[in-house]
Amino acid sequence: MSVSGEVTGTGPLKATIQVPDGVKVSWNQLLIGQLPLDTITAQPFTGAKIESSQKFKVLNKTAFAEFNKFMLKEREFTWHLEGIASVEAAGLNLQGIVLSKDVTMGGMQNFPSVKIDSFNAPAEHPDGGIEIEINSTLGNPSPINVELGDLVFDVEYLGHIVGEVGATGVTLVSGDNKLDLKGRLIPQNSTEALAAVGDLFSKFITGQNATTSVIAKSVRPNNESAPISWLQSAFVGTKLSVVLQGGKDLKIISSVDINALDLQFNNENPYIPMASSSSLTAGFSIPFGFPLEMKQISQQITMFDGDKELASLGSPFTAATGDSKSGKIETSFAPTPFKVAKGSEELFDDFSKRLTLEKSVSLKMKGVANSIAKTPVGEVEIQGIEFEVQTTLPGIQGLKTKPAVVNSLVVTGGTAENMLIKLSVTLFNPSNVKISMGDVIFDLLFQDQPMGKVIMENFVLDRGENNVNVIAQFGPKGDEANKAGRELLDNFIIGKSNTVGIKGSAQSTPIAPLQKALAALELTTTMPGLKSPKPIIEQARFAIGLNTIFDSKGTASIDAFNPFDTTIKFLNIKSNIQVKDDEIGNIDQDLSADPVIIPSGKTVTTKDFDLNLKISGAAIKSLFDSLAGNLKTNIAATIGVAIGDFVTEIDYSQNDVPTSLGKGAGQ
């Protein structure tokens, strides 16, 4: 035992003081040991410094252990020293002087100043659990120095032993002591203990302090020595309160990529669509080196358009994959309300429009994530991981990155207002956003004139290629629109393709946040012409009577084919019949009282129409040719038709119609 002290109040004489048998040391009226003292030489008035290193003889191990426990915990302690001294001064030698002295010294106060300078968890521990390294400073307020040796502590948090650490070759000196502790967080089996470990990590990652307890477990001179019983008894159970300071400026989540986003709108709550994602990737890192594997993640996210709050969503715990080695988390979230912030409705309208038209849109995402992760100590929940990142959604680009293609077109019928056409259309969405819009209606245009409406029922714009079933209502209104519409219909019937426009408007949807977006959509596509296996007029027949040469009257009929997928009716027909460039007759017949009804895909021979012949050399020659079966006529007709309940006129021309001469009245 080393003793440093001083002797004061020695007077004007130099003196030599000896305590041959040393002093007996008592504490709390318990004799604990005997301490030899070196000879003390005191100078006049200045006293003497005591620097002595002697073996302290423990006389009562139990009492000495109790004393050490007291010294470790309390502010101060008092030793009572007793012995027999001799003093030699000024030639005199005085023997048998009784030495009885109380000496008060500072205790260690349970080491009130323990500071963790650094904390690291660099790897999985070979014995299981997580390797930890703690560089700490332990302040000893006592003047007592103690050579301890190797120390082992349990680490307790929230009532659970979560780890163990140790240090080697430790000597506690007065003042600050640097302790390099190494050990591990131990594997846990109980839900409560795992929750404690999760809370410890959560606090560190989120920058919060966590108060732990370090409990002395063992002390021995070295790893191969047995513990010293009195020191072990005094030291074991010593409990130190240690604050693990939270990490500073940690950025755990560095990026979020929404690989797929589904938005499902409804008219009842237009500004609370349901959002889901089948693929969301986050970049992350932890400030430790041990392996961590993500199992589940939950999120509360607020999205900002610029600096303005746009919307928020929360998703419960969902399966996740990824680990600390890859630095990536792959997860998804089930449909959850996407709540547009109060007062941000117009901002969301504009956002929807930009998403529809632009190449990409950016969002700032702020929020809090909670994760359940597999670690070497077990599955732990890490809570409160804050993040703030920018993310980008690819835009729809007005559906113009690839042409809209009409794959098929079928005339299915008509109402009093419109002819009904069923189309299959391919649209390409380059975005990773899928939008369920309900019923949407677009304007159908030809030559910038309104032709009617294009209706997409329960329209879902998916990612990539979309094959959409569309109902077109063809019903132009007004002179200019009717003129353009008639041309469109005529071209369609003769098999000619036409360029048409599909344009949105504010009335395209009743869902408010989609109105600006759909109103900005404007597409062009090619509407294919009618594909028919047969011409509409398969054959024509003339019939003349005895009076034809006098009144130029005859009759005509045709074999008419219906190429549509619905029944059509001929209501009237006006036609001009030519052979080459010579007109030989015309027809002007009102059939409204007895329409020609032609079922879909069928050929019907009409009743006889009144034929007005032009008696000329060409007409006579044509009649003779028809007798021989060699006549080909060119027919240009305007036909009033009813398709379902829709009535319109078509201009139809067909050349080289096989024509024969039949029997008329009087034959």
Q: For residue 210, is it left (φ>0), alpha (ψ between -120 and 50) or beta? A: beta
Q: Are residues 324 and 437 in the same domain?
A: no
The amino acid sitting at 92 is L
How confident is the model at residue 225, as a pLDDT?
86
**AA identity, residue 49:** K
User: Is 294 among the domain residues?
Assistant: yes
**Whether residue 209 sits in one domain with residue 190:** yes
CA distance to 264, 313, 340, 433, 509, per residue, from 267 (Å)? 10, 19, 14, 20, 9
Same domain? 79 vs 163: no
- Distance, CA of 651 to CA of 639 (rounded, Å): 6
Cβ contact 573:647 at 8 Å: no
> Are 265 and 354 found together in one domain?
yes
- Helix or strand run (H / E) with residue 430: none
Same domain, 406 and 387: no
Q: What is the DSSP letter of 43?
A: B
Assess whether 95 and 124 both reside in one domain.
no
Q: In sequence order, what are the residues at sequence separation of 6 or more whose Cβ sits closer than 8 angstroms to the Cβ of residue 45?
A: 10, 11, 12
Q: Which two tokens stand for residue 658?
A: 């096989």
Q: What angle separates helix 345-357 from helix 512-519, to the nearest 10 degrees? A: 30
The alpha-helical segments, DSSP class H, found in 392-478 are none
pLDDT digits (tens, 9 = 90+) for 261-287: 999 999 999 999 999 999 999 999 999
- Pick the closest to residue 644 from 418, 414, 411, 421 (CA basis): 414
Considering the domain boundaries, does residue 648 fall inside one? yes
Q: What is the pLDDT of residue 666?
A: 37
- Sign of the C-alpha dihedral, residues 218, 220, 223, 225? negative
For residue range 207-260, list pLDDT tens digits in order.
999 999 999 999 999 888 888 888 888 888 888 899 999 999 899 999 999 999
608 is written with which tokens?
A: 């006889």
Classify the phi-psi angles of 625: left when phi > 0, otherwise alpha if psi is within -120 to 50, otherwise beta. alpha
Q: Are 632 and 651 within one domain?
A: yes
Domain match, 381 and 445 both: no
Residues 549 and 640 both lie in one domain: yes
Distances (CA, A) of 622 to 538, 614, 635: 19, 11, 14
Give the Cα separation of 140 and 106 in Å (integer): 10
Confidence (pLDDT) at 174: 92
**Cβ atoms of 625 and 572 closer than 8 Å:** no
Do 187 and 289 sit in the same domain of this protein? Answer: no
Position 174 in a domain: yes
333 is a domain residue? yes
Separation CA 356–CA 400 (nearest Å): 11
Q: What pLDDT, in 10s, does the model give residues 522-536?
A: 999 999 999 998 999
Long-range pairs, 396-399, Cβ under 8 A, ≥24: 396/355, 396/356, 396/357, 396/429, 396/430, 396/431, 396/433, 396/461, 397/357, 397/358, 397/359, 397/430, 397/431, 398/356, 398/357, 398/520, 398/521, 398/522, 398/523, 399/427, 399/428, 399/429, 399/521, 399/523
Alpha helices in 77-168 (DSSP H): none
Say whether both 517 and 545 belong to one domain.
Answer: no
Instruction: Report the largest interatomic distance among the alpha carbons of the chain, rounded to a whole angstrom.
Output: 184
239: domain CATH number? 2.60.40
CB 261 within 8 A of CB 432: yes
In this structure, is residue 532 part of a structural domain?
no
For residue 1, the model assigns a pLDDT of 67
d(CA 361, CA 392) in angstroms, rounded, equals: 6
Q: Which domain holds residue 491?
A: 399-527
User: How many CA atoms lie less than 13 Å away from 436 in the CB half-sphere?
Assistant: 14
DSSP state of 385: E
Give the three-state DSSP class for 193: helix
Whole-number Å distance between alpha carbons of 637 and 649: 10
Phi, then psi, of 286 in degrees rounded to 5: -115, 155
Domain count across the chain: 5
pLDDT value of position 665: 37
From residue 309, give the alpha-carbon distance in Å to each of 304, 362, 366. 4, 13, 10
**For residue 667, what pLDDT is reported?**
38
Q: Say what the pTM is.
A: 0.81
Half-sphere exposure at residue 120, Cβ-oriented, CA atoms within 13 angstroms: 10
Regarding whether 377 and 403 lie in a shared domain, the answer is no
Residue among 466, 459, 483, 473 at smallest CA distance from 411: 473
Q: Is 577 exposed, middle or buried (0-12, 13-18, 19+ CB in 10 A)?
A: buried
Residue 382: inside a domain, yes or no?
yes
Q: Could you say which residues of the chain have pLDDT below 50?
A: 664-667
